[in-house]
Amino acid sequence: MTETASTPSALAPGPEMSTLERLTGVFFSPGKTFASIGRKPGWDWLVPVGIMLALIVTSVFLINPKLDTDQAVKQALQKIEQNPNIPSDQRAKIEERMRGNFETVKSPKALLFAVPFVLITLFFVPAVYHGVAAAMGGSTRYMTVVAGYIWAQLPQVLKGLLGFLIAIPRDRIDLKEAETIVKSSVGAFLDPQTTSAPLRACATQIDLFEIWGIVLGTIMLSRCTRLSKNAAAITVVSLWIVWTLLKVGGAALGAAFGG
C-alpha cells in the first residue's frame, strides 16, 4: 500500500500569496507558503531563478578570479610526483591540462558550465520527485513541483549570498576553501591538507543549510503533491543521500588522480 496524504494540503482552500510574501514566507511560514504554491504555482518562481543566475554571474566575474589555482596545481603536482604509476613524460601534460581547467574556472567561460548545470538541476530533481509521487499514486502537476522545488532553494541562495559577502573583501581565496567559505558545515572545520578528500566531501554535506533544505523540501513535497509527510521525507532524504554518495565518489576519484 502506498503512503499518501488523505487530504492533500495542496488542494486545501486558502488565500494566495504575492511574490514578496512567498520570498519571506519560505523562511518564516513554509507550510502556508508551499500550500499556496501547491494550489497556484504561477510563474513567480522565475524570481528566485533570476536571483540565482544573477548571483552566479556576479560571482564568476568578481569572486572566481580570486581563486588561488597556482597553489592548487602545486599541491596536485606534489601528489602526482609521489605516484609511481604516473610516467614522468605524462606529468607535464597533466599539469597543462589542470592549469587550463583552472583558467576556465577563473574566466567568464565558467558560465557555460555553471548556468546550464543549475538550470538542469532545477528541472531534473523535480522530475524525480514527480516520478516518485506518480509511482506512489500521489502526483499532481510536474510544473507545480518545479515551482515548489525552486522556492525551496532559497536557503541555498542565502548561503551563496553570505559566501559572496565573505569573499568580496579578500584578495585571494584558497581553492579548497571555496566550498566551505561559509562556516556552516562540519567539513568547514576540517583541515583540507590532512583530511582525505572523500571524508571532507561527506563532512561538507553535513551542513546547516543542507538540513534546512531537507526540511523545506519535505514540506514542499507534501504540499505540492499528494504524498504524506513521511513519504515526502523519505523521498527527499534518499535523493540527498544519493547526491552525497556521488560527491564522495567524485572526491575519491579526483584524489586518486592527484586532485
Query: Helix 30-39 vs helix 142-151: angle between axes, to the nearest 10 degrees?
Result: 150
DSSP code string of 159-178: HHHHHHHHHTT-S-EEGGGG
Distances (CA, A) of 64 to 96, 106, 168, 171, 213: 20, 5, 10, 11, 25
DSSP code string of 231-259: HHHHHHHHHHHHHHHHHHHHHHHHHHTT-
Q: Is the pLDDT of residue 14 over 60?
A: no
Considering the domain boundaries, does residue 43 fall inside one? Answer: yes
- pLDDT tens per residue across span 192-211: 878 888 999 999 999 999 99
- pLDDT tens per residue across span 90-133: 767 776 777 777 788 888 899 999 999 999 999 999 999 999 99
Region 6-16: mean pLDDT is 51
Considering the domain boundaries, does residue 4 fall inside one? Answer: no
Considering the domain boundaries, does residue 139 fall inside one? Answer: yes
Considering the domain boundaries, does residue 249 fall inside one? Answer: yes
Considering the domain boundaries, does residue 69 fall inside one? Answer: yes
Strand partners for 14 = none
pTM of the complete model:
0.86
Considering the domain boundaries, does residue 141 fall inside one? Answer: yes
* Residue span of the structural domain in which 43 resides: 9-256
Considering the domain boundaries, does residue 3 fall inside one? Answer: no
User: For residue 122, what pLDDT is reported?
Assistant: 97
User: For residue 259, what pLDDT is reported?
Assistant: 52
Q: Is the pLDDT of residue 16 over 50?
A: yes
User: For residue 87, what pLDDT is reported?
Assistant: 66
Considering the domain boundaries, does residue 65 fall inside one? Answer: yes
Number of domains in the chain: 1
